[in-house]
Chains A and B, each alone.
Chain A
Amino acid sequence: MFDDLRDLYQEVILDHGRKPRNFRRLEEADREGRGDNPMCGDRMQLWVKLAPDGRLADIAFQGKGCAISMASASLMTETVRGKTPDEARELAGKFRELAMTGQCPECGASLEEEMERLQVLGGVAEFPSRVKCATLAWHTLVAALDGNGKEASSE
């Protein structure tokens, strides 16, 4: 009945949705962010620990939401660990484009491997009402890195 939805809900998404990685509170975090999707009720909290050289030494999140939002957050934490804040921001921008268009035309240039990992979420582009589920974690990460204390919202 739902076979053609396997493009959106690939096994890796269902797996990360069911068992999100880095799903824990990070004590003594250097950066912290909150994300909220008021329409769906997706909510998350995110913590980042920075290494002395400024890289993202550790990142973790907790929250509630749909499979897409949880899987996206889970994959994000795995992808940005060890990156510099600028690289993380660049990935956030590229991911946003991927989620909205299903394509990532300039993704080849840098961070190619990372973007390939995130391709599994490209299917949301077909579902306009679900794009913000996928991007919430990234909005939250950028807000945390910017450290402005504002709640991120993908509305």
Chain B
Amino acid sequence: MSGAAEAPAVAASAAAASVGAGSEAAGGFDVARIRQDFPILSQKVRGKDLVFLDSGASAQKPRAVIEAMTRMLESRYANVHRGAYFLSESATEAYEAARRAVAGFLNAASEREIVFTGSSTAAINLVAHSYGRGVLKPGQAVLVSEMEHHANLVPWQMLKAAQGIELRVARVTEAGELDLADVEAKLADGRVGLFAVTHMSNVLGTVTPAERLAHLAHAHGAKLLLDGSQAAVHRRVDVQALGCDFYVFTGHKLYGPTGIGVLWARLGLLEQMPPFLGGGDMISEVTLEGFLPAPVPAKFEAGTPPIVEAIGLHAAIDYVQAIGMPAIEAHERRLVDHAMARLAPIEGLRLLGRAQDRGGVFAFALDNAHAHDLATLLDRVGIAVRSGRHCAEPLHARFNVESTCRASFGLYTTEDEVDYLAEALGKAREFFR
């Protein structure tokens, strides 16, 4: 096999070189070398070094991902699952290899448990339509939390409107953690069929205690869906160890391309669920009168899938795995500690949430500057942060704040960048005085 089959090996060796060369750096993690893998990071913005602190919205891409996608397009591209010719078979093999890589990344029991979607949002909507309308019964409830991204809230609100499913919301404490007593109280009557909750808040950085939530949900007869859009980027995810029933994440936050997301669910659940989108590739037989759905996972992949994007995701997974999720987690833990130490003392700066277990996402507000004015200032000195409500409007209402700025870290973020942010925030407060 030639062409893109080499992509994983190339990606892996590039990343391995990054790590190997950095023995002098803390924990063997050489962030300077890693940054060289990301072409976009070396550019200047408005004459300043780019300080990209918006990876939580979408991460930058390493050369290994960009090149794997280019190679696929240049040498191996055709539609998948359709052609009895060399290129189509080759593309199908690459696409299915990506599925196996995702299964390995999540430690799924079988690659058949991996459904490719367009995004995390699409994956949750798939569950809301298929499991929500096909398996849950009117009178049952879905439980979410106050810190959900709109992608894990609005689909359930739509289900509630369409299907007579009750929607319950578990509270978040002042520290920004899930109120476990409230979770238990809302599960107590046994009517919750599905508990859909974030694995890591995209605003507070809070990592939720997934294993415990799985125990709680199962003890009360509910299934657990984890929105791993943020968490899967920062930590090793083992769906079997976590004990959840559904897990979703997206490619573009994991240094992969946009347009590809993943739904993992237990095989039995996927087999029980009716198809969502109808079309080509999701059927095993069609007559003018009706159809027989294809086996899982094809049943949920109607139409031509995001083929090149799946290859890009495969390369991204190889890239982070070559560095090692534990090494990435350790690097980000140091960054989080450093950021807390540098940001907490800034006068007039309010940090949202102080969870014990958290990842590299910080939402903050200055007492004398609106989030958008602050973001404009930071942009002027090369710092990219997100401003607004970060698709989590109810959470901002919960903390009684109109909008915030959010700095989110990636594996390429440095302590110097955090220092620069802290310096800029101090000066921004003076600017608006």
Contacts and interface: CB of A to CB of B under 8 A. Distances in A.
Interface string A60-78: 0000111110000000000
A39 interface: yes
Given A2-B428, A9-B431, A66 B372 contact: yes
Contact of A2 (B388, B403, B431): B431
B427 interface: yes
Given A40-B403, A41-B402, A65-B370, A127 B388 contact: no
Contacts of B403: 40-41
Nearest to B431: A2
A68 B373 contact: yes
Nearest to A39: B388
Interface in B407-433: 423-424, 427-428, 431-432
Contacts of A65: 370, 402
Given A41-B388, A41-B389, A41-B402, A66 B380 contact: no
Contacts of B381: 1-2
B398 to A, nearest CB: 14
A148 B38 CA distance: 51
Interface in B389-412: 389, 396, 402-403
B380 A67 contact: no
Contacts of A68: 372-373
Contacts of B388: 39-41
Contact of A40 (B372, B424, B431): B372
Contacts of B396: 41
| Chain B contact patch, size range | 20 to 34
A8 interface: yes
Interface residues of A, number: 19
A107 interface: no
Contacts of A42: 372
A5 B431 contact: yes
Contacts of B402: 41, 64-65
Contacts of A67: 369-370, 373, 432
Interface in A1-24: 1-2, 4-5, 8-9, 14
Interface in A31-88: 39-42, 64-68
A2 B427 contact: yes
B377 A2 contact: yes
A130 B387 CA distance: 12
Interface in A101-135: 127, 130, 133
A2 B376 CA distance: 10
B376 A127 contact: yes
A23 to B, nearest CB: 15
A66 B432 CA distance: 12
B371 interface: yes
A66 B427 contact: no
Given A2-B431, A40-B388, A9 B373 contact: yes
With most chain A CB atoms within 10 A of its CB, the pick from B380, B381, B424 is B380
Contacts of A127: 376
14 contacts: A1-B381, A1-B423, A1-B427, A2-B377, A2-B380, A14-B432, A40-B387, A41-B388, A41-B396, A41-B403, A64-B402, A66-B370, A67-B432, A130-B376
Interface of B: 369-373, 376-377, 380-381, 387-389, 396, 402-403, 423-424, 427-428, 431-432
Closest CB pairs A-B (n = 5): A66-B370, A66-B372, A41-B403, A1-B427, A67-B373
Interface of A: 1-2, 4-5, 8-9, 14, 39-42, 64-68, 127, 130, 133
Given A2-B377, A5-B380, A68-B373, 15 more contacts: A1-B381, A2-B380, A2-B381, A2-B428, A2-B431, A9-B431, A40-B371, A40-B372, A40-B387, A40-B388, A40-B403, A65-B402, A66-B372, A67-B432, A127-B376
